[in-house]
Amino acid sequence: MRCRKCKGKAVLDVPRHHTAFCKACLTEFVCAQVERAISEERMFTKADRVLVAVSGGKDSLSLLDILGKLGYQADAFYVDLGIGEYSRQSKAKVERYTSARGISLHVHELKEDEGAGINDLADLVHRPTCSVCGTLKRYHFNRTAVEKGYSVLATGHNLDDEAARLLGNVLHWQTEYLEKQGPTLPDSVEGFAKKVKPLYRLAEREIAAYAVVNKIDYIVEECPNAQGAKMLLYKDILNRLESESPGTKQAFYWGFLTRQKTDEQARPSMAEHDRAVLRPCVTCGQPTTSEICSYCKLMARAQKNGPTPVGS
């Protein structure tokens, strides 16, 4: 297999673009796709300070790497969930990557600030671990970005993640989630950072190849709490469709984004809607749609059900 651009030895075929790349051309392709995502979706500019939420996995560390290569001001934020060996290893990978490149790293420790790791917290509130984890991460991602003066929060969600999520939302007609499933969510209200997903044009295997080629040392294991068997099933189904007819995944997700943009012109923008319904949480001051935000509700329940000292 030869690189379609330079005829060197190819390391990855990309059937959805009828092409194959060598190491150097793969890196160039990946960076160009991210640059295109950033400009087409008006995510941020070189003047913005961007906070990248990193887990130690290939997607988030590659995103940090690509933004650095492209010359953006990107720092890292890591939430230590306190899941034994998995958290220790992923945190070590993040620390090694950022310190070697002189990137600022902010860390939030669940065990220190919430008084317990994610598994104990989920037990206390009798809710599935992944859902509690989602609430906590969303809360701290936003709060840290706003408090530390970052205008944008970036996550490492890729095309596979977004297409699988879209499939799940469509199968259950979760229209309120569909409305909010774009690669750019505006900072519509004071107290909310703009949220972006610069990897949405890239498939998981393309990012994995980028990470290997660029010698990024990431944690290969998935979170032991597994991000929901349903999402893995949707990804598997989409991968089977993709191998039969390359381009299906991007046609599905990108096609949705195009239709969403047309719809937006016909109805009031999400920003206007959010401005009307959001207000500061009476407990912590973060923006929310109800009197008390979902994070504070969760922590109040954890405190009621156990002797957990609740932090900030």
- Contacts to Zn ion by CB under 5 A: 3, 5-6, 8, 22, 25, 281, 283-284, 293, 296
CB nearer to Zn ion: give 52 or 125. 125
Separation between Cα atoms, residue 82 and residue 119, nearest integer Å:
8
CB nearer to Zn ion: give 164 or 202. 202
Min dist. Cβ of residue 261 to Zn ion (A) = 32
Min dist. Cβ of residue 163 to Zn ion (A) = 27
CB nearer to Zn ion: give 50 or 278. 278
Min dist. Cβ of residue 257 to Zn ion (A) = 29
Min dist. Cβ of residue 21 to Zn ion (A) = 6
Q: Which residue has the tokens 């990024």?
A: 216
CA distances from 108 to 25, 141, 156, 207 (A): 37, 10, 18, 26
Question: Nearest to residue 141, comparing CAs of 159, 155, 129?
Answer: 155
CB nearer to Zn ion: give 31 or 231. 31
CB nearer to Zn ion: give 8 or 255. 8
CA distances from 285 to 14, 159, 281 (A): 47, 34, 5
Token representation of residue 184: 């750019």
* H or E, element range at 105: strand 105-109
DSSP calls for 8-31: SB-SEEEGGGTEEE-HHHHHHHHH
Sequence-separated (6 or more) residues with CB below 8 Å from residue 10: 1, 2, 3, 4, 20, 21, 22
Min dist. Cβ of residue 37 to Zn ion (A) = 22
Min dist. Cβ of residue 5 to Zn ion (A) = 4
Token representation of residue 10: 């190819």
